Amino acid sequence: MRGRSFLLGAGLSALFVLAALVSLVWTPYDIEVLDIPAKLQPPSAAHWFGTDHFGRDILSMILVGARTSLAVALLAVGIGMALGIPLGLAAAARRGGWLDEVIMRGNDLIFAFPSLVIAILITAVFGAGAANAIIAIGIFNIPVFARLSRGAALGLWQRDFILMARVCGKSSARISAEHILPNIASLMIVQGTIQFSLGILAEAGLSYVGLGAQPPTPSWGRMLADAQTMVSLAPHLAIFPGMAIVLSVLGLNLLGDGLRDWLDPRLRVVRA
């Protein structure tokens, strides 16, 4: 059972990444060409997922939308890891010191903010767009990785091999980089897939309310927003982009759970 859901997760995730990559070189139709006579067509052999109100091919738009989702979520996870893990490692190395205290209180503070509200605030103030969406989502990934890496590193600092490294005269920064980091990497990757899936949902939400990637860049959330007024005439406009979101998020979650079980059954990943 576990193995099967892992395979399903890996398959769906691969499909998502593949869709994004394929869209770079090929889509069934050019999404920048409007074909008004062919507007709002239901799914057919020519247009598998139908067409939108401008006659654009929904399948092609979903493929390109995957690229937007992937880029935003991946970069947001990157921000979280690049800033969160060093902070967590520094906090663990200076356990109980003022640095630890400052980092952890800062984390608590970010956690206290309702993430979506602040994401809306940031994109609203600095302008809507993919870049600000990435920053807004990324900020909330920082405390997730900081907290997790600190917790995992604290356990490692008690171990004998770290003591040996200290005896050898290595600085705590060097120990963190050379000995702690490789040992917590798998845990970070597992959490990364979970944050990645949350990032896809967040990006969809932001672009649904018009604060994500701006037209003409297609994004799944924006496709759903466009579909809203026409959903009774053409349900396929809402169904396919929504399915794309659900399957990608589901796939990444299953992949993350499976990876965790496979790498180390004892690992517990925090699900925010």
Partner 1 sequence: MLRYALRRGLSLIVSLAVASAVIFLVIEVAPGDPASYMLGVNARPDTVAALRAELGLDVPKVERYLAWVGGMLSGDFGTSYAYRSPVAQMIADRLWVSLPLALYALALSTLVAFPVGLYAASRRGRAGDTAVMAATQVGIAIPNFWFAMLAVLVFAITLRWLPAGGFPGWDKGIGGGIKALTLPAVALALPQAAILARIMRSALIDMLGEDFIRTARAKGLTRRQVLWRHALRNALIPVLTILGLQFSFLLAGAIIIEQVFYLPGLGRLVFQSIAQRDLIVVESVVMLLVCAVIVVNFAVDLAYAAVDPRLRARA
When the beta carbons of 104 and 263 are compared against partner 1, the nearer one is 104
* Least Cβ distance, residue 114 to partner 1 (angstroms): 4
When the beta carbons of 23 and 107 are compared against partner 1, the nearer one is 107
When the beta carbons of 165 and 256 are compared against partner 1, the nearer one is 256
Which of 180, 221, 178, 218 shows the shortest CA–CA distance to 199? 221
Say how many C-beta atoms besides its own lie within 10 A of residue 168's C-beta: 9
Q: What is the CA radius of gyration of the chain?
A: 22
Q: Confirm if 29 and 50 have CB atoms less than 8 A apart.
A: no
* Least Cβ distance, residue 124 to partner 1 (angstroms): 4
What are the residue ranges of helices labelled H in 94-129? 98-112, 115-126
* Least Cβ distance, residue 250 to partner 1 (angstroms): 4
Instruction: Say how far apart CA 104 and CA 111 lie, in whole Å.
Output: 11
When the beta carbons of 89 and 198 are compared against partner 1, the nearer one is 198
* Least Cβ distance, residue 125 to partner 1 (angstroms): 4
Instruction: Say how far apart CA 176 and CA 91 lie, in whole Å.
Output: 11
* Least Cβ distance, residue 5 to partner 1 (angstroms): 8
Task: Give the footprint of partner 1 on this chain (CB under 8 A).
Answer: 1, 108-109, 112-118, 120-122, 124-127, 197, 201, 204-205, 208-209, 221, 224, 227-228, 231-232, 235, 238-239, 242, 245-247, 249-250, 253-254, 271
When the beta carbons of 111 and 161 are compared against partner 1, the nearer one is 111
Burial-class residue 151 by CB neighbours within 10 Å (0-12, 13-18, 19+). Answer: middle
Q: 51: which strand partners? A: 57
